[in-house]
């Protein structure tokens, strides 16, 4: 039967007692449109495989796989070092989108739902050490209503029913499928650290670092924390230990000064190190006071973008050079933040946000949930949301860069463009979000929780959360071409919302599709001038509203979508940069506002 180990959510590290082996490279691949592979033993060998890159989306690699979201198989033959024998060994796909099943030497070793968070299976008893091993991962990304993100359902939505995008999705990005991040094999000692939670506070000029650690097998024994050159001892009782450490004259973490402290934990037995784990931590606080967001007790306004993990040929596959280039360009523009729209990003992206000083709104893939659907479907999605929130917070809780959890993007009660929100759907959404809010707060009391609201969506949902994020398209989907009227409508709505909510509001999306090189005087929709103008007007309005805690442009770069009449050439052109990261006029404009001001 399936065994999926939660322990694998700690990012695997290589050190004197732990090992990591990256299985990136050429794997064998075969599509299985008739779902015959499992019966026919494809977990041991594929009848007619072709080579594929891991990590990568399959859709951009093979012509016959472009719109294919059904079952596919990935196989790899690999050796495991004999020196790992006697250790706990896990296999850990970082992102297998969406439903994955994993076999080791023909034996089922794990299963997972959810395409953007790691899972780990405990596999030593299935491995050979004297010959090679067959690793098989079966994967599909069928668009199913009960999943998160959901496939097209009864209630429809903007992108599914109305504009009929192909492949059919409820959301506005290409439903890339594949092993999108590295598959790691890693080993840890039999008795090992299974989890670490670091929380920080500030008193005067000192930082207080609270560390709680879990260890396997109800470990009772000694441990050690090394932080800022000092050792603190830990006493484990039934697998847990806690310590509070004061860092004098702490160098706080913030954008512009992303100070990190290396922290090393170990389980010790006399002078023997039984296990050891290291991570970088940042000392900072984040809180909401009235309509203000406070970082280290000081008001902070977010500047930046909604993004996507998207690039030519790779699709949604992990691409470290692009991740680093994007940070460079965001710095150049003067952005201090981004949202992981519309799913958790790679672990490397989060580590780099810590190192480079970006504030992150960290989002699960709950995009376009529709509460016009049946109670059963809504409950099935709630299960998926809770699982993804649990995994996300377990994975990302120690990143100083992460300042907020976003439980959903643009949930809807029926179709917002069709007008009217059926009260039953609004109530179903209110119940759902109250419970998601509580659920998230129970997992992490140190960060605000938010919801990203759709234009025309029920404002009562925003009242449930600590911070209100909103996406607005006055001047584009509404009042296109009429920027004066768009200004007035926006300004009025913002003031009304502020009266209703009395909490920080972040505009997490605003912008206009813009064809690079298309110019017009006077400005006209789709031109680079129009994009600059719309951004200028939104920024000017927000600057006059003290309750606006941030402005994130949609989108950082042009990105791939399905095909349809709403999306020119299967692309969303709201990027400030093109898909290959060339600046449109809007990039220099934003730079003049944010970096050079």
Residues taking part in catalysis:
410, 509
409 binds ligand BDP (CB under 6 A): yes
Please identify, using beta-carbon distances, which residue of 410 and 528 lies nearer to ligand BDP.
410
Which residue among 574, 579, 584, 591 contacts ligand BDP (CB under 6 A)?
A: 574
60 binds ligand BDP (CB under 6 A): no
SS3 210: strand
CA distance 517 to 514: 9
Question: Cα Rg for the chain, rounded, in angstroms?
Answer: 24
558 binds ligand BDP (CB under 6 A): no
Which residue among 310, 410, 444, 533 contacts ligand BDP (CB under 6 A)?
A: 410
CA distance 280 to 200: 13
Footprint on residues 113-152 left by ligand BDP (CB under 6 A): none
388 binds ligand BDP (CB under 6 A): no
H/E segment holding residue 317: none
Please identify, using beta-carbon distances, which residue of 119 and 159 lies nearer to ligand BDP.
159
Minimum separation from the CB atom of position 490 to ligand BDP (A): 15
Please identify, using beta-carbon distances, which residue of 152 and 255 lies nearer to ligand BDP.
152
SS3 24: coil
SS3 375: helix
Question: How far from 522 is each of 519, 532, 553, 592, CA to CA, in Å?
Answer: 9, 12, 23, 21
309 binds ligand BDP (CB under 6 A): no
**The token pair that represents 592 in the structure block:** 């003049």
Please identify, using beta-carbon distances, which residue of 54 and 366 lies nearer to ligand BDP.
366
- State the residue number with the nearest CB to ligand BDP: 172
554 binds ligand BDP (CB under 6 A): yes
363 binds ligand BDP (CB under 6 A): no
Which residue among 509, 523, 528, 529 contacts ligand BDP (CB under 6 A)?
A: 509
310 binds ligand BDP (CB under 6 A): no
Please identify, using beta-carbon distances, which residue of 409 and 531 lies nearer to ligand BDP.
409
Minimum separation from the CB atom of position 453 to ligand BDP (A): 10
Which residue among 59, 406, 415, 471 contacts ligand BDP (CB under 6 A)?
A: 471
> Could you give the dihedral angle defined by the CA atoms of residues 272, 278, 282 and 288, in that order, rounded to the nearest 10 degrees?
-100
User: Phi first, then psi: what are they for 5, rounded to 5°?
Assistant: -95, 125
CA distance 80 to 203: 48
How big is the CA angle at 392 (ends 256 and 278), to the nearest 5 degrees?
60
Count residues contacting ligand BDP (CB under 6 A)? 10
Minimum separation from the CB atom of position 18 to ligand BDP (A): 39
Report whether 29 contacts 55 (CB < 8 A): no
DSSP string, 132-144: -EEEEEEEE----
Please identify, using beta-carbon distances, which residue of 167 and 357 lies nearer to ligand BDP.
167
User: Phi first, then psi: what are they for 467, rounded to 5°?
Assistant: -130, 140
Those residues whose C-beta lies under 8 Å from the C-beta of residue 522, and which sit 6 or more positions away, are: 529
Minimum separation from the CB atom of position 171 to ligand BDP (A): 6
The residue ranges that bind ligand BDP (CB under 6 A) are: 171-172, 342, 409-410, 471, 509, 554, 572, 574
């Amino acid at each position: 039967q399936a065994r999926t180990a939660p322990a694998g959510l700690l990012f695997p590290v290589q050190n004197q007692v732990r090992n990591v082996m990256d299985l990136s490279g050429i794997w064998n691949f075969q599509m299985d449109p008739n779902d015959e592979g499992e019966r026919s033993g494809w977990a041991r060998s594929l009848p007619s495989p072709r080579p594929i890159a891991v990590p990568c989306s399959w859709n951009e690699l093979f012509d016959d796989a472009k719109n294919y979201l059904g079952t596919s198989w990935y196989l790899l033959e690999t050796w495991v070092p004999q020196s790992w024998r006697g250790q706990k060994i896990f296999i850990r796909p970082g992102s297998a989108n969406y439903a994955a099943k994993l076999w080791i030497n023909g034996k089922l070793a794990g299963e997972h739902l959810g395409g953007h968070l790691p899972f780990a299976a405990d596999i030593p008893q299935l491995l050979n050490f004297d010959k090679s091993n067959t690793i098989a991962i079966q994967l599909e990304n069928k668009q199913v209503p009960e999943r998160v993100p959901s496939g097209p359902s009864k209630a429809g939505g903007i992108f599914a029913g109305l504009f009929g995008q192909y492949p059919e999705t409820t959301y506005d990005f290409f439903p890339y499928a594949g092993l999108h991040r590295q598959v790691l094999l890693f080993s840890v000692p039999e008795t090992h650290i299974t989890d670490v939670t670091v929380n920080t506070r500030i008193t005067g000029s000192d930082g207080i670092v609270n560390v709680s650690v879990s260890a396997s097998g109800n470990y009772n024994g000694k441990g050690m924390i090394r932080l800022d050159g000092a050792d603190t001892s830990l006493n484990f009782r039934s697998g847990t230990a806690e310590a509070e450490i004061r860092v004098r004259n702490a160098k706080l973490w913030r954008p512009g000064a992303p100070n990190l402290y290396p922290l090393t934990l170990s389980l010790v037995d006399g002078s023997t190190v039984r296990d050891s784990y290291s991570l970088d931590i940042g000392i900072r606080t984040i809180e909401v006071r009235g309509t203000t967001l406070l970082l280290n007790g000081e008001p902070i306004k977010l500047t930046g973008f909604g993004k996507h993990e998207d690039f030519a040929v790779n699709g949604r596959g992990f691409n470290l050079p692009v991740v680093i280039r994007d940070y460079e360009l965001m710095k150049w523009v003067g952005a201090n933040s981004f949202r992981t729209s519309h799913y958790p990003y790679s672990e490397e992206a989060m580590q780099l946000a810590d190192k480079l000083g970006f504030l992150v709104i960290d989002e699960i893939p709950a995009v376009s949930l529709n509460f016009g659907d049946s109670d059963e479907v809504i409950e099935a999605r709630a299960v998926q949301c809770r699982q993804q929130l649990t995994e996300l917070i377990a994975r990302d809780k120690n990143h100083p860069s992460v300042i907020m959890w976003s439980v959903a993007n643009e949930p809807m009660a029926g179709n917002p463009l069709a007008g009217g929100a059926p009260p039953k759907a609004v109530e179903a959404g209110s119940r759902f979000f109250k419970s998601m809010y509580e659920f998230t707060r129970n997992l992490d009391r140190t960060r605000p929780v938010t919801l990203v609201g759709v234009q025309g969506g029920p404002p009562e949902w925003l009242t449930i959360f600590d911070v209100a994020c909103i996406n607005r398209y006055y001047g584009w989907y509404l009042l296109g071409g009429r920027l004066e009227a768009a200004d007035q409508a926006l300004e009025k709505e913002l003031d009304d919302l502020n009266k209703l909510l009395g909490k920080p509001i972040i505009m997490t999306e605003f912008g206009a599709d813009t064809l690079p090189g298309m110019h017009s005087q006077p400005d006209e929709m789709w031109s680079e001038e129009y994009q600059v103008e719309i951004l200028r007007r939104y920024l000017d309005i927000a600057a006059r509203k003290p309750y606006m805690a941030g402005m994130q442009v949609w989108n950082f770069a042009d990105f791939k979508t399905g095909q349809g009449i709403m999306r020119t050439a299967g692309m969303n052109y709201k990027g400030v940069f093109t898909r290959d990261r060339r600046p449109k006029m809007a990039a220099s404009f934003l730079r003049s506002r944010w970096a050079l001001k």
